[in-house]
Amino acid sequence: MESQEDVRSGVPDPMTYWRQRLDEWYPDRYSQVYVLPPVHFRKVPYSLTTVCDQPALLVQPQGQEQIQLPSAEVPSAPISSSNDSIADATTTPGSSRMWSELPEVQSQLKKVQASDIVDDECQQRVLYCLQQFGKQQSEAMFLLSQLNFSDYLNEPSYAATAKQMPQLRYPRPITLGRQYKKGEFDILLIHRHYGILVGEVKSVGHDPAYRSDDHVSKKAEQAVQQMVRSASVLKHLVKDLTTVCEIPVRTTLILPFIQRSQLHQVLQSYPKLGKDLSKSLGLSVPDDSRAVSLCLCADELQDSSPGTWEPSRLERFCGPATKVSVYCISPPRLEVRTLAEALSEAGDRLSRLVLTPQQVALLASPEPRVFVTGPPGTGKSIVLVLKGVQWLKEGEDVHVVSTFSNSLAVSSLIHHQMSLTIKASEEQAVGKPHLHNFQFFEDEGQVELAVETMVAAAEKQRVNILVDEYENGEHDLSKRWHRFVSEVCNHIGNVRLWIASSKGTNLPPELHKETLTVPLRSAPSVVAEVDKGVRALANIPDYTSAGIPAPLDGPQVIRLHHQGPDHLEANIVECEQCGRNIATELKQLKVGAGQANASPVQKRPAPLRYCDVFILVHSYDLLGTSSEDSSGKVNGLVRGLRDAGIPVRVVRDRSRGVEGWDCDVRDTSVARTDMVTVSDWGDVVGMERKVVVWLPGRIPGDDDKLSDEHLDRIGRLWAMSRCIVQLILPRTAPQLIFHAVNQILNSKQRYICLEGRCARFSFSKLGCAYVSRDAAAAGLPDRTPSARKDELFSYSAFPTSSTCRSSGSREKLDPDELGVSEFTLP
């Protein structure tokens, strides 16, 4: 990151420096859509509280009065990160600890109104639509969201430089008068052909009760006044540029919840409003129909007439001299310019100790035996940790019981988090956390051993037990877990036992059930992917919002494709090119780029670290070093990553040695080393990372009876759910369609058309043998172009379906998700 001194000294031409920063931050600005800030951070109604002596944020559901709970004590003094029980941890939030430290805030946070939440939702919807429009039309543009007038060319470094260099004293809002010091551009669109478009966004109509013509007219009148003001400011800011080339400056009214037909009706009913709107939109003659067509309504986005200009002055609005700040719960505001910074900050915010009223009430409950269930990311493990801390502070020991291999990682993290919390406590008389590792799946005798261990502990004092990732599936082996609960409760009358599991059915009768359904730990873009798996499984409770808004919208999923001549291996885990492609994405996200700028005048998010990244696979054949196998083999994926300069740690398979596997899992659970972790998803259940790469696969033997559809659900539920912010999904088209085609066609070789490219696939090998852009290069038979129509079979491929259907009516697919629109079999 640059320092503030870079602009003041050592750079003879500040404009050159600004352009260099643009090249660094936005390298594809002539071909892609950039949104600033890259993630929309929303206002959430929080209040400060302490739970189990831990500073936390209590989120207030919409439409409810301020919730007061007896266990939530609001501190009267400022909460500083130095008071956080885990402030001395050496790794980043979401890695070795279960929640990140709170920023330094006062006891009273910024008050968030219901209208703020609606406006945020409205802004987010507009940004998404404009961004998608730009991508679909292959338009290159910048979208600046909620840019304050006062932030334009307001970096201290710019002010200092402008004093020394008069040629840099560009027009600023303050030079128009103090009345222009406050205000913001809701949407500022900078386009290389259309010029600059100012959008005024109004959320009227979000509530159907306030969608009458009268309500719309009042909001439209306010918007027109603000549009005139914004246009005046913007024309002032670029007035010196018009001597070089004419820069079109346009305004538009954006009403995401109002149809064009209603807006037209309103303008006809309120003639003065129609005239004012036409004038503000730049129409020389009032024209209601034309004015409506130049607005963005719920229907669709309409283009303005294009102009021409060279985008040589982007550095003013998007360069280092202008602040790009995001909402924070308390001052100061934070600057977030790039996607890498947005991911880091989003990960920190989602990792904070944020609790719902339901969770706080549950922790205050005297119920000794509780079963906490809910879909991934709803705070079940957090509740277990806080309850354990509560027991420890009562002076009693807490036993964290891992019951099988898939629960060791999260059990280790729970034990680690409680140890950190108690270590930071000033209290003298506290209990001690204990970690126990059993294998109920492998040996029924382990159940008896676990019961005996707990009974022996009960001879000294009351026993407090925490069990995460409890196995209560609909299979016979789950009876072992129920037997453990039953015998512990029968042998130890005063036992306190809290258990967590995503599965909400087949519960032990001895426990009180509590269901958490609000996603708190992942971005909405991640939750949307996980939810596709949750809804397909009857024993997992569905997500709900419960009136609680998400703190951000989240970045779009990054999708890579395992196909092409450079991908020589069918199995992604053995593909070096996939390793290199993943490394490229991580570098673009500035993973491992170094420390953030610590300047007191410019607060920026810390860069992502290597330990913030999981690369998860479905494979029992992970090899990270040549010494792990007699063949000296290392997975191609790992080689590709390392060759590209990414430090990688591989969690060895348990079958290659329990001791080595145990060490790898425990080290991963606390992020002991700053390295990217490559692991089978089952070894990191319950863990979280800011960036997760999920590589689907099929294990011969174990998965032979499982459909592609079922494996996709498992991957979403257990692998994608490990992600806090950024999902990266390399997909291979053959993996999605081979199984289906092979069932229908009794042939060993067919030709398939992928997005207009012809590809030849071999069913004896799960992978793409060759991809080219024309039939001849792909080796298609000469008869293909002239084949009769009735000799061709067209099918649509769906990522969540293992069957192919004749596509008489072409169904629209998502090419970004699948990479395959349709395929034709000659």
When pLDDT is cut at 50, 70 and 90, the band that residue 302 belongs to is very low
What is residue 54's predicted lDDT score, i.e. its pLDDT? 85
Helix (H, G, I), strand (E, B), or coil: what is residue 352? strand
pTM more than 0.85? no
Q: How large a percentage of the chain has pLDDT more than 70?
A: 77
What is residue 328's predicted lDDT score, i.e. its pLDDT? 86
User: Mean per-residue pLDDT for 320-328?
Assistant: 83
What is each CA distance from 781 to 148, 525, 750, 787, in whole angstroms?
Answer: 62, 43, 11, 10
618, 715 Cβ separation under 8 angstroms: yes
Q: Give the range with max mean pLDDT: 48-52, 388-392, 419-423, 778-782.
A: 388-392
pLDDT at 281 over 70: yes
User: Mean per-residue pLDDT for 378-407?
Assistant: 96
Q: How far is the C-alpha of 333 from the C-alpha of 347, rounded, in Å?
A: 17
652, 661 Cβ separation under 8 angstroms: yes
Vertex 30: Cα angle to 314 and 154 (nearest 5):
20
Q: Where does a domain end: 517, 538, 560?
A: 517
What is residue 595's predicted lDDT score, i.e. its pLDDT? 59
Same-domain pairing of 294 and 368:
no
Domain that holds residue 486: 357-517
What is the DSSP-derived secondary structure letter of residue 135?
Answer: H
503, 437 Cβ separation under 8 angstroms: no
Same-domain pairing of 133 and 270:
yes
Beta bridge partners of 437: 402
Q: Where does a domain end: 328, 345, 375?
A: 328
Backbone angles phi and psi of 94, in degrees to 5: 85, 0
In a domain, 266, yes or no: yes
In a domain, 586, yes or no: no
Same-domain pairing of 148 and 228:
yes
Q: How far is the C-alpha of 550 from the C-alpha of 448, rounded, in Å?
A: 44
CB atoms within 10 A of CB 604: 18
Helix, strand, coil percent values for the chain (each to nearest 5) = 40, 20, 45
Looking at every residue in the chain, the average pLDDT score rounds to 79
Same-domain pairing of 444 and 312:
no
Structure confidence by residue, pLDDT tens digits, 155-182: 877 777 777 787 778 888 888 877 777 8
In a domain, 775, yes or no: yes
What is each CA distance from 522 to 433, 527, 555, 721, 786, in whole angstroms?
Answer: 28, 6, 11, 8, 51
User: Mean per-residue pLDDT for 4-13?
Assistant: 47
Q: How far is the C-alpha of 588 from the C-alpha of 613, rounded, in Å?
A: 14
Same-domain pairing of 361 and 265:
no
What is residue 300's predicted lDDT score, i.e. its pLDDT? 61
Same-domain pairing of 140 and 267:
yes
Same-domain pairing of 323 and 362:
no
Same-domain pairing of 303 and 417:
no
When pLDDT is cut at 50, 70 and 90, the band that residue 722 belongs to is very high
Same-domain pairing of 365 and 316:
no
Structure confidence by residue, pLDDT tens digits, 221-251: 999 999 999 999 988 888 877 655 567 888 9
In a domain, 620, yes or no: no
What is residue 63's predicted lDDT score, i.e. its pLDDT? 60
Helical residues (DSSP H) of 725-812, grouped into ranges? 733-744, 775-778, 783-786
Q: How far is CA 511 from the centre of its chain?
A: 34
pLDDT at 783 over 80: no
Structure confidence by residue, pLDDT tens digits, 536-580: 888 899 999 888 889 998 899 999 888 778 888 888 888 999 999
Per-residue burial over 320-344, b = 16 or more CB atoms within 10 Å of its CB, e = otherwise? bbbbbbbbbbbeeebbbbbbbbbbb
pLDDT at 105 over 70: no
Structure confidence by residue, pLDDT tens digits, 56-75: 999 988 765 444 443 333 33
Structure confidence by residue, pLDDT tens digits, 498-545: 999 999 888 999 999 999 999 999 999 999 999 999 988 888 999 998
What is each CA distance from 364 to 51, 67, 163, 244, 803, in whole angstroms?
Answer: 9, 14, 59, 67, 50
Q: In what order do the strands lie in the sheet with 793-796?
A: 805-806, 793-796, 823-825
pLDDT at 794 over 80: no
What is the DSSP-derived secondary structure letter of residue 715?
Answer: I
Report which secondary-structure segment, H or E, holds 199.
strand 195-201
529, 817 Cβ separation under 8 angstroms: no
Residue 664 tokens, joined: 């790898």
What is the identity of the amino acid at 410?
V
In a domain, 800, yes or no: yes
Q: How far is the C-alpha of 640 from the C-alpha of 527, rounded, in Å?
A: 30
CATH of the domain at 455: 3.40.50.300
When pLDDT is cut at 50, 70 and 90, the band that residue 826 belongs to is very low
Domain count, the chain: 3
Q: How far is the C-alpha of 617 from the C-alpha of 697, rounded, in Å?
A: 7
What is residue 504's predicted lDDT score, i.e. its pLDDT? 87
Report which secondary-structure segment, H or E, holds 227.
helix 213-237
Q: How far is the C-alpha of 732 from the C-alpha of 766, rounded, in Å?
A: 10
User: Mean per-residue pLDDT for 708-719?
Assistant: 90
Q: How large a percentage of the chain has pLDDT more than 90?
A: 45
When pLDDT is cut at 50, 70 and 90, the band that residue 644 belongs to is very high
466 versus 780: the higher-pLDDT residue is 466
When pLDDT is cut at 50, 70 and 90, the band that residue 483 belongs to is very high
Vertex 17: Cα angle to 12 and 21 (nearest 5):
170
Nearest to 388 by CA among 354, 430, 428: 430
Beta bridge partners of 789: none
pLDDT at 586 over 60: yes
Q: Where does a domain end: 328, 345, 377?
A: 328
Residue 675 tokens, joined: 């390295």
Q: How far is the C-alpha of 559 from the C-alpha of 225, rounded, in Å?
A: 43
What is residue 425's predicted lDDT score, i.e. its pLDDT? 66
What is each CA distance from 438 to 460, 481, 568, 811, in whole angstroms?
Answer: 22, 11, 41, 50
What is residue 97's predicted lDDT score, i.e. its pLDDT? 81
pLDDT at 15 over 90: no
Q: How far is the C-alpha of 611 from the C-alpha of 180, rounded, in Å?
A: 45
How many CA atoms, within 13 angstroms, populate the side-chain half-sphere of residue 656?
18
Report which secondary-structure segment, H or E, holds 637.
helix 636-643
When pLDDT is cut at 50, 70 and 90, the band that residue 315 belongs to is low
pLDDT at 96 over 50: yes
784, 826 Cβ separation under 8 angstroms: yes
In a domain, 231, yes or no: yes
699, 619 Cβ separation under 8 angstroms: yes
Among 242-246, 349-353, 357-361, whose mean pLDDT is lowest? 242-246
User: Mean per-residue pLDDT for 651-671?
Assistant: 89
In a domain, 41, yes or no: no
pLDDT at 625 over 80: no
Q: How far is CA 112 from the centre of its chain?
A: 23
Same-domain pairing of 308 and 445:
no
What is each CA distance from 143 to 337, 376, 397, 486, in whole angstroms?
Answer: 12, 33, 54, 59
277, 253 Cβ separation under 8 angstroms: yes
Same-domain pairing of 419 and 288:
no
pLDDT at 305 over 60: no
pLDDT at 123 over 60: yes
Among 18-22, 181-185, 674-678, 785-789, whose mean pLDDT is lowest? 785-789
pLDDT at 25 over 60: yes
DSSP 445-514: HHHHHHHHHHHHHHTTS--EEEE-S----SSTTHHHHHHHHHHHHHH-TT-EEEEEES--SS--TTSEEE
What is the identity of the amino acid at 36?
L
Nearest to 702 by CA among 714, 692, 694: 714
As a whole number of Å, the end-to-end CA separation of the chain is: 55
pLDDT at 309 over 50: no
Same-domain pairing of 316 and 393:
no
In a domain, 527, yes or no: no
Looking up tokens 């890498």, which residue turns up?
A: 340
774 versus 483: the higher-pLDDT residue is 483
Q: How far is the C-alpha of 405 from the C-alpha of 412, rounded, in Å?
A: 11
User: Which residues are within 8 A (CB) of 629 and not within 5 positions of it... i.e. 6 or more apart?
Assistant: 623, 656
